[in-house]
Structure 1
């Protein structure tokens, strides 16, 4: 077994540092501004450019119908007879095939003068549980003697989880067709913001359809891994040990902080990788969950060359379920600002509290340690947990008792 020495590690790190930087893929408006990888936002945008409103041209419907015709799934003569001004799209179209059953919803339904098109959009989820037979009945009802078309849109050409009469059109196929039509579509219209947004959305779909394209290794990097696999494996184990030690110390600091307030509680933990490159260590005190479910304090670490004792920076976050603090939210925020501006704690406020989340809305707080070191961050973690216990949980328990 290869033993990692300081010299071998130094040589390996030097070789990694000398690797050429990989060019970053061009970001787009939709992927950089939120949860563009989720099905509902993507389906909403698909509908927008397929005719959901008369204010936006139905460019994407045209591209999809041309793609279906190119695959032999639609007659060319039918395509030539489409009145594009008549095309309209609907989202989440409900239908109940059996009155005893609940309504089922088709992601997208596009109608024109001579066709009705059903679309099920799947980003990364399986289609196994989708009721395609109900969708088929819906299309029959809505067809009014027009040609019925149907397809599944998804990033990959996977068809094992869908019926054979629902062909898969990949995002790449759709984007390639849309770009082929783009020049002719926009040339006959005055410039508008929708041309820009449409171009950005097509790029976003292509990114969704090629999640690994920007992560492919070049030959130099691949050779480095093959020649130094054991050393890299040991380096990865060192990083894992670093995180496990930080997690254990974090539990100790939070436990001690709450014990100072007379609380003896279990602390559950969770480690996560955030999309911004942060590693997040989340701490869930059991007594907090009794009053505010899923409340947690989080220690995040990340690359930061300005850190005082290395290249790792730290930030501390607190997340509170807003549904359980609505009446006290303003008071909690005011107490946070007052504490952060004082000299009583080892932390300072980084920014105003913010709201985030999907079905569950959380109020988030972020602070940084006054001593920008690992030890300073752990001290701030404990003191911030103690502050939260005193200001949030003790008062919330008092108000609900």
Structure 2
């Protein structure tokens, strides 16, 4: 890729709409909450007024409020919502709600396809002796609120609005508990499922249309970082040639940015010196020393005394106090690689003195 092409691609990148940031929730982190069954299970739990959540019939009222004249219905149930209720033909109803006065079939459609045997569901209620003299309600809960003839469609947006109002009242009238937090997480998860992609269409189209150049740019970036890492290793090998030290190096990525790690092979601890090329806006490159395996307070104090040079920023602790970090910030503008390598060498020499003379005492 020519430099002009690279610059043009970077210029275009800066004009693209930003990707929407969405709040994660417990259902979206490693869970299978996007499937209909888990969503229905959680919804059924909150719809049962006698369940442990302590919200009473608030969630049931929220659901009924989405139906025509639903607020006039008695918001109580004679038993817990029945999940996967079987019909005579062997079909399964997502959820069956029964009160003294009415029976409600609820089909939950997280995705848009609606190919269920809806007529069989209706026949099941009509032929069930226990449901005689009760009113029947057939409801499809879906992203857009669509439903077949004879059924009432509830859009998830309408239900989420009602649930949010329910949650707000619960926060005001009672103490915060884990069930309120869980309901809020559930609402956030459903909102995220119903939303369009967080990536703007313009941004998506740009990436798809320029995949080859973007991949070429990524390859270029990786090759440059690898080259800098190897050049740093050669510099250090020459710098410490008289000592005959063997030097090891590793490449990590912290928050997407490269961290080039260097250490002497004779160190018995995991201590090392790291060049962190942090290009996050508002941040800067730095060279940092990690003194590791500090197993006693005396060794921690020795590390502080030996390593805490006046050029360092304030040190910090990691690993429950068994690691101390020191860093020197580096101006990213007009970065001199040899100055970076010289700073790495300086910190390695100081750390080497600690590792050889202090750790064994």
Corresponding residue number in structure 2 for 1:148: 136
Conserved in 2, the CA contact under 8 Å of 1:92 and 1:105? yes
1:127 maps onto 2:114 in alignment: yes
| Residue 67 of structure 1 pairs with residue 66 of structure 2 | yes
Q: Which of the residues 190, 196, 212 maps onto 1:237?
A: 212
What SS does the corresponding residue of 2:141 show, helix, strand or coil? strand
Q: Deviations over 1:229-260 (max 9, x none)?
A: 6xx666313467999xxxxxxxxxxxxxxxxx
**Alpha-carbon deviations, 1:278-299, whole Å to 9, x = none?**
xxxxxxxxxxxxxxxxxxxxxx
**Any conservation in 2 of the 1:117–1:139 contact (CA below 8 Å)?**
no
Which runs of 5 or more structure 1 residues have no equivalent in the other structure?
98-102, 244-302, 312-401
Contact 2:20–2:199 (CA<8 Å) still a contact in 1? no
Q: Deviations over 1:41-96 (max 9, x none)?
A: 1111111111186223443322110111xxx2x4553x2xx153646311111111
User: What is the CA–CA distance in structure 2 between the aligned matches of 1:96 and 1:172, rounded to whole Å?
Assistant: 33
Equivalents in 1 of 2:210, 2:3: separation in Å?
A: 11
Q: TM-score, normalised by structure 1?
A: 0.48
Q: How does 1:39-78 map to 2 (within 5 A)?
A: 39-51=36-48, 54-56=51-53, 57=55, 58-68=57-67, 72=68, 74=69, 76-77=71-72
CA contact (8 A) 1:118 1:151 kept: yes
Aligned length: 223
The reply to whether residue 196 of structure 1 matches residue 181 of structure 2 is yes
Aligned twin of 1:255: none
8 Å CA contact 1:88, 1:112 repeated in 2? no
* 1:365 match: none
Q: CA deviation at 1:108?
A: 0.6
- Cα RMSD (Å) of the superposition? 3.5
Offset of 1:189 from its aligned partner? 4.2
Show structure 2 runs of 5+ residues with no match: 219-254, 261-276, 278-361
Task: After TM superposition, give the deviation of residue 305 of structure 1 in Å.
Answer: 3.2
Q: Is contact 2:45–2:51 with CA below 8 Å preserved after alignment? A: no
TM-score by length of 2: 0.53
Evaluate the alpha carbon distance shift between residue 182 and residue 237 of structure 1 in structure 2; reply closer, same or farther with a 3 A threshold.
same
Contact 1:152 1:168 survives alignment (8 Å): yes
SS of 2:27's equivalent in the other structure is helix
Q: Tell me which structure has the larger Cα radius of gyration.
A: 2
- Once residues 307 and 104 of structure 1 are traced to their aligned partners in structure 2, the CA distance between those partners, rounded to angstroms, is 57
